[in-house]
């Protein structure tokens, strides 16, 4: 027990990750996770609705943090800057690269979990777009900015969990935004130079 976090939720999460990595998500039961964590099954279900929630339990907190960052960004901030602030705010929750790497590997190995992750990202984009609308951003700008921001987040996160240079997540978010900006500029030049006759 001494190698685990002292709190039950932390022990359950660590036990689940160990079992999912070793045996696979499908083959692991909530009862087995509870036993490995040294807690009762009842305690497991007090902290997590089901075994999937061990992987997705932080979603609501992440969404709340990102929405707050958009809504409280300075009035002078552009929609892109407000969303960028929300992505940087999210990195305060994403400190444990090894945990995130293992979680990503488990999710990618399971179609049901991959679908759940995509749904989570779609909900996040919708919530961020709604926060932009509360700032007075109209459509389609609110949805486009939010969707682009979540795409940047996904790409940066995937690079973070697999990046051999061990760059930090805020750096990867900034690089991804810069690359997106360069691609959009290139696209505008290409479209602008095309013959319409």
pLDDT (tens digit, 9 = 90+) per residue, 89-144? 999 999 888 889 999 999 999 999 999 999 999 999 999 999 999 999 999 999 99
- Report the CATH number that the domain containing residue 24 is assigned in CATH: 1.10.10.60
DSSP string computed for 128-195: HHHHHHHTTPPTTHHHHHHHHHHHHHHHHHHHHHH-TT---HHHHHHHHHHHHHHHHHHHHHHHHTS-
Contact by Cβ (8 Å): 49, 58: no
Q: Are residues 37 and 118 in the same domain?
A: no
- Report the CATH number that the domain containing residue 128 is assigned in CATH: 1.10.357.10
Phi, psi of 29 (to 5 degrees): -105, 160
Contact by Cβ (8 Å): 21, 106: yes
Q: Are residues 90 and 180 in the same domain?
A: yes
Assess if residue 168 is contained within a domain.
yes
Assess if residue 2 is contained within a domain.
no
- What local confidence, expressed as pLDDT, does residue 135 receive? 95
Q: Are residues 152 and 176 in the same domain?
A: yes
**Total number of domains constituting the chain:** 2
Give Rg (Cα) of the chain: 20
Contact by Cβ (8 Å): 116, 57: no
Q: Are residues 148 and 120 in the same domain?
A: yes
Domain that holds residue 151: 58-192
Q: Are residues 77 and 35 in the same domain?
A: no
pLDDT tens-digit profile of 146-179? 999 999 999 999 999 997 677 899 999 999 999 9
d(CA 52, CA 64): 20
d(CA 18, CA 106): 10
Q: Are residues 65 and 111 in the same domain?
A: yes
Q: Are residues 47 and 67 in the same domain?
A: no
Phi, psi of 13 (to 5 degrees): -60, -45
Assess if residue 81 is contained within a domain.
yes
Assess if residue 1 is contained within a domain.
no
Q: Are residues 95 and 109 in the same domain?
A: yes
């Amino acid at each position: 027990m001494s190698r685990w976090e002292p709190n039950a939720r932390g022990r359950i999460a660590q036990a689940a990750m160990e079992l999912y990595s070793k045996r696979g998500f499908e083959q692991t039961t909530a009862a087995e996770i509870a036993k490995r964590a040294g807690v009762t099954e009842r305690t497991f279900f007090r902290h997590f609705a089901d075994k999937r929630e061990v992987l997705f339990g932080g979603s609501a907190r992440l969404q709340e943090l990102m929405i707050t960052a958009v809504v409280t960004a300075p009035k002078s901030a552009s929609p892109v800057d407000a969303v960028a602030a929300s992505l940087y705010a999210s990195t305060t929750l994403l400190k444990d690269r090894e945990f995130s790497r293992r979680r990503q590997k488990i999710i990618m190995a399971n179609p049901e979990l991959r679908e759940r992750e995509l749904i989570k990202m779609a909900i996040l984009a919708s919530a961020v777009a709604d926060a932009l609308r509360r700032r007075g951003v109209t459509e389609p700008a609110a949805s486009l900015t939010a969707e682009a921001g979540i795409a940047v987040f996904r790409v940066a996160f995937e690079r973070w969990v697999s990046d051999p240079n061990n760059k930090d997540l805020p750096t990867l978010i900034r690089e991804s935004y810069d690359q997106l900006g360069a691609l959009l500029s290139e696209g505008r030049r290409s479209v602008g130079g095309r013959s319409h006759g």
